[in-house]
Amino acid sequence: TTEGLSADMIDDIARKHYPMCMRNMHTNLRRDHHLKHFGRLTYGLFLKVLGLSLDEAIVFWRKSFDRITDDKFNKEYRYNIRHSYGQEGKRANYPAKSCSQILQGEPSSEHGCPYRHFTMENLQTTLLTMYSSQGLQSHHLPEIADLVKKQSYHVACTRVFEITHSMKKGDGIGEGESVTHPNQYAARSMELEK
Ligand code: SF4
């Protein structure tokens, strides 16, 4: 968790540090000015664990849903954001979803794991769009595709981390560890930048 994250830092962090699932949700949110329920829930909990405070989360979502009125935002979304932060209902400290929860969840190209839930063609195009500025090139794609065909989704994601962080194959996200949680991916990426 990073202290002092603010809503206006998220676009930059998304571009530099997000795994593909969260990058996809962030991109969809920016494109559509909206995200469906499961996307809001999954992405919202990720942002909480990333270090976005409740106040900044409300700023973030309010600015992201910029085509609705304050009234609609307050009625339909504010409660759920506060709920995710344990400030409503039974006030639970909800954890962010792990890779296995996302992988086993409802198949969705909006809020699922892209390695599992995208078509191969869409996966490859999107990988290049998202990560070519960090060194991912088309010659890396066959290797990623092979891992996906073997249903080794975490391994594919880990390999993308290695490629985009100039790490060797087998380094994983550090010390050979592989990706098991989107927040672990983002936290490690942010640490490496320091
Ligand atoms: Fe996200 Fe995990 Fe899938 Fe990577 S393997 S894209 S972190 S759900």
Instruction: Give the ligand 1 atom nearest the CA of 22.
Output: 1
The domain spans of the chain are: 7-84, 99-193
Q: Is 154 in the pocket of ligand 1 (CB under 6 A)?
A: yes
Q: Is 144 in the pocket of ligand 1 (CB under 6 A)?
A: no
Q: Is 182 in the pocket of ligand 1 (CB under 6 A)?
A: yes
Q: Residues 4-9: contacts with CB within 8 Å, 24+ apart?
A: 4/51, 5/50, 5/51, 5/52, 5/53, 5/56, 6/52, 6/56, 6/59, 7/52, 7/56, 7/57, 7/59, 7/60, 7/63
Q: Is 173 in the pocket of ligand 1 (CB under 6 A)?
A: no
The residue whose CA is least distant from atom 2 of ligand 1 is 99
pLDDT at 90: 87
Is the ipTM, as predicted for this complex, more than 0.90?
yes
Q: What is the pLDDT along the chain (194 residues), one digit of tens a residue?
A: 456 899 999 999 999 999 999 999 999 999 999 999 999 999 999 999 999 999 999 999 999 999 999 999 999 999 999 999 999 888 888 999 999 999 998 888 888 999 999 999 999 999 999 999 999 999 999 999 999 999 999 999 999 999 999 999 999 999 999 999 999 999 999 999 98
Expressed in angstroms and rounded, the spacing between residue 20 Cα and the centre of ligand 1 is 6
pLDDT at 97: 97
Tell me the backbone φ, ψ of residue 187, rounded to 5 degrees. -65, -45
Q: Is 127 in the pocket of ligand 1 (CB under 6 A)?
A: no
Expressed in angstroms and rounded, the spacing between residue 45 Cα and the centre of ligand 1 is 15
Task: Write the secondary structure of the chain as one string of H (helix), E (strand) and C (coil).
Answer: CCCCECHHHHHHHHHHHCCHHHHHHHHHHHHHCCCCHHHHHHHHHHHHHHCECHHHHHHHHHHHCCCCCHHHHHHHHHHHHHHHCCCCCCCCCCCCCCHHHHHHCCCCCCCCCHHHHCCHHHHHHHHHHHHHHHCCCHHHHHHHHHHHHCCCHHHHHHHHHHHHCCCCCCCECCCCECCCCHHHHHHHHHHHHC
Length of the chain equals 194
- The CA-atom distances, in angstroms, between 120 and each of 18, 26, 77, 151, 189 are 20, 21, 34, 12, 25
Distance of CA 114 to the CA centre of its chain: 10
pLDDT at 92: 86
Expressed in angstroms and rounded, the spacing between residue 18 Cα and the centre of ligand 1 is 10
Instruction: Give the ligand 1 atom nearest the CA of 20.
Output: 6
Q: Is 147 in the pocket of ligand 1 (CB under 6 A)?
A: no
Distance of CA 149 to the CA centre of its chain: 22
Q: Is 20 in the pocket of ligand 1 (CB under 6 A)?
A: yes
